[in-house]
Every structure is written in C-alpha cells, then in structure tokens.
Amino acid sequence: MAQVKKINMKNPNVKLPVYDVIMDDENPELGMEKISLVKDPANKKMFIAFEDHQKKTKLLFSEDRQLVTCALMQPDDLIYRNQGGEEFYVKYSSTTIEQMVHKFMKEGRTKEINVEHSVDVSGVYVVEIACTDASRGVNGPEGLELKDGSAWCTLKVDNPKVWESVKDKTFEGISLEGLFGMKQEFKKQESLPKNLPSSTIDIILDPEASYKAKYKALVNDIANKK
C-alpha cells in the first residue's frame, strides 16, 4: 500500500479516476477502526497544541493536560492513492464522515490508538470527537480551519513516551485507518483500475522504506514501554 502524496501537477493532462469512500449498513466490517499518531497525516492538518496556540485555545490545550487536537477528515478533499501501480483519488462525503464517526463511537473504539499504523499503544485515548455542523451550530475548535461536515478529535496522552514524541514533533498529526466501500465518481466513461479490490479499500498508509527505518527504533521503544 503506497503512501499518500500529491500528484505531480506538471502533467495536468493525466485524468485519474475519483472514488467516493462509502459506508454500507449491510457490511458490518466497514468503518473506521483505529486512530493513528503519525508524522505525515494524509489530511495535512497538524496538531493544535503548545505555546503558539495557547492564547486561542487555552481552555482546550496545555502541556499539563497533555491534550492534542487535530482534524480527522474533511469532506471532498481528494487523497491520492497508488495501489499496484494504479493511480486514483479517494474522497469522503460529509455523510460518510458522520457515519464513520458514529460507528466508531458506537463500537467503543476510543482506546484503539496506534503509532504510524503499526504499533498499538496504551495510555492514549479519545476524549473528544465530533463533526462540524453549521445547521446545528457545531463548530470545530478555534485554530482549526475546517469545512462544514469535517471530523476532528482530541486525544489525551498519558503515555509519557508518546507525549514526548508529540512534543518533539516526531508525531505531528493523526490519521484514520479502517475498511470502507468505494464507488467511482463517473464524469465520463472510465474503466475500473485492474488491481483494486472489488468492494473495499484499505485506508492504512504505508510510509516509504526510508521513513520506516528512521522511526522503527522509536516505534519499537514505545511498544516495549506500554
């Protein structure tokens, strides 16, 4: 599974298919399963925390409270994928985002946290998770620029090793992982990429080998000190 990255805009004539990520009530296996602390989040939103944001968010964040807040997903943002050499985009609607958040909470997954989509950690858990909804007056935290229908969450980090890694910016954001359905957005007649699974897409990110090597020792250290 390839790392999410930006498409090379030097070749604007290349038109990639776009797939809507969807939930399916008839398939209970689909949905957001875990939240991961990562160096490079797919949504490109970094944590709100520490001194540079304390004036704006003093009621939510301080080092003493060991809280970090970040966007989980924003509606209609295109996320580049390369699976088996087949390039495409996926995007989430506000409806899908709301459905996955509700299912995540319903299943009691607030302690399902890992680092770099590889090692589960203890002492880190979700204390806030919500979707922005202008119709109900539900906004995101001050300091996060979120579209209406976006999901955001706050993690409480009691694990001292993980907290140090947040403070030194080893981890700069959060990413979701899970299994979801896919439906192609047709704007013209296009064929389905050959190597895609027929009904689900694994959203887990897999950083490049050099990146893995850089953080392998840290991830193992965290695992050993759970």
Overall pTM surpassing 0.75 (yes/no): no
pLDDT of residue 226: 55
Query: Is the model's pLDDT at 174 over the cut of 90?
Result: no
Query: Is the model's pLDDT at 54 over the cut of 80?
Result: no
pLDDT, tens only, 162-172: 999 988 888 88
pLDDT of residue 56: 35
User: Which residue, among 216, 203, 213, has the nearest Cα to 41 in the 3D structure?
Assistant: 203
Angle between helices 160-167 and 209-224 (to 10 degrees): 140
117 touches 204 (CB < 8 A): yes
Distance between CA atoms of 32 and 109, rounded to whole angstroms? 9
Query: Is the model's pLDDT at 182 over the cut of 90?
Result: no
